[in-house]
């Protein structure tokens, strides 16, 4: 069994100069492909259940799916709640077997975000699992704008909550389909100067691949969340499978054809977070 907590995979990443992928799941097909890709690359992986995933499948079911895959995997697998918005939701995830809780209070005032995140940290610690918090709202492509993380607020947040990982807003955007933007490295370095907590980038699909690799190796960013990039790969594979044979109707057979393309796309993502080769 290789079920792991977030802290257990991020601490070695921070000291080893690499990052771990937090892969946003929507169903059995993608989470299974993600674990197979991680095994082929011999890298840890974080399976994430975000709001849209939870709207489709109840947390207790997701917990069992994640844990089943972890028990069969040869690499560490983290069962992670992504963007939990309430104490009750985080507690349900804990009771469902998740090993990491991400509480998102980034839309709230700093003091309230700190107080509520600290309560989730205490909940997680009582069960010997991990907690990720967010300081500085990360916006959405075509929607809400990002707020940007203030370094002084980040230092206060990290110190007073005790989070195991801290998601920050430095130019990253959720649901971005291209990589034309990039992260604000001066703001990142200012945050790194005031805290040693492992950092997390949500909206990692919109970060140029070269910058992802560079920062995985040279910064405190130990976790990049990837969702849109792999959903696009899955959608392309599914569309090809459906159109290949108009008479085919068995969804198991159709979905089977998405597996290998998604594994390949995931392996490409994972390789971009490796430590720099020496020699």
Residue 27 — φ and ψ, nearest 5°?
A: -170, 180
Residue 82 bears catalytic tag: yes
Instruction: Let me know if 278 is exposed, middle or buried by CB neighbors in 10 A (0-12, 13-18, 19+).
Output: exposed
Is residue 224 within 8 Å of 19, Cβ to Cβ? yes
Angle between helices 87-95 and 110-126 (to 10 degrees): 20
- Selecting among 82, 104, 150, 164, the annotated active-site residue is 82
d(CA 66, CA 23): 12
To which residue do tokens 């989470």 refer? Answer: 31
* d(C-alpha 277, C-alpha 27), whole Å: 34
| Phi, psi (degrees; rounded to nearest 5) at 28 | -60, -40
Q: Residues 23, 46: contact at Cβ < 8 Å?
A: yes
Of 27, 4, 136, 26, nearest to 80 by C-alpha is 4
Active site residues: 82
């Amino acid at each position: 069994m290789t079920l792991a907590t977030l802290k257990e995979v991020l601490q070695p990443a921070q000291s080893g100069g690499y990052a771990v992928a937090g892969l946003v799941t929507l169903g059995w097909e993608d989470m299974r492909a993600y674990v197979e890709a991680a095994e082929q690359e011999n890298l840890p992986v974080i399976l994430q259940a975000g709001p849209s995933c939870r709207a489709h499948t109840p947390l207790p079911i997701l917990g069992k799916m994640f844990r089943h895959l972890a028990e069969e995997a040869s690499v560490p697998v983290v069962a992670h709640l992504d963007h939990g918005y309430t104490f009750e939701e985080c507690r349900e995830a804990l009771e469902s077997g998740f090993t990491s809780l991400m509480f998102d209070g980034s839309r709230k005032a700093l003091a309230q975000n700190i107080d509520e995140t600290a309560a989730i940290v205490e909940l997680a610690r009582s069960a010997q699992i991990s907690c990720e918090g967010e300081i500085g709202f990360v916006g959405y492509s075509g929607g809400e704008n990002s707020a940007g993380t203030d370094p002084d607020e980040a230092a206060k947040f990290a110190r007073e909550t005790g989070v195991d990982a801290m998601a920050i807003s430095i130019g990253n955007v959720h649901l971005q389909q291209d990589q034309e933007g990039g992260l604000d490295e001066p703001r990142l370095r200012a945050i790194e100067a005031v805290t040693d907590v492992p950092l997390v980038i949500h909206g990692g699909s919109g970060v140029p691949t070269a910058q992802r690799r560079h920062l995985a190796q040279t910064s405190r960013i130990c976790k990049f969340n990837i969702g849109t990039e792999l959903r696009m790969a899955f959608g392309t594979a599914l569309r090809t499978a459906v159109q290949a044979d108009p008479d085919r109707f068995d969804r198991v057979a159709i979905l089977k054809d998405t597996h290998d393309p998604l594994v390949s796309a995931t392996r490409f993502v994972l390789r971009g977070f490796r430590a720099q080769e020496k020699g």
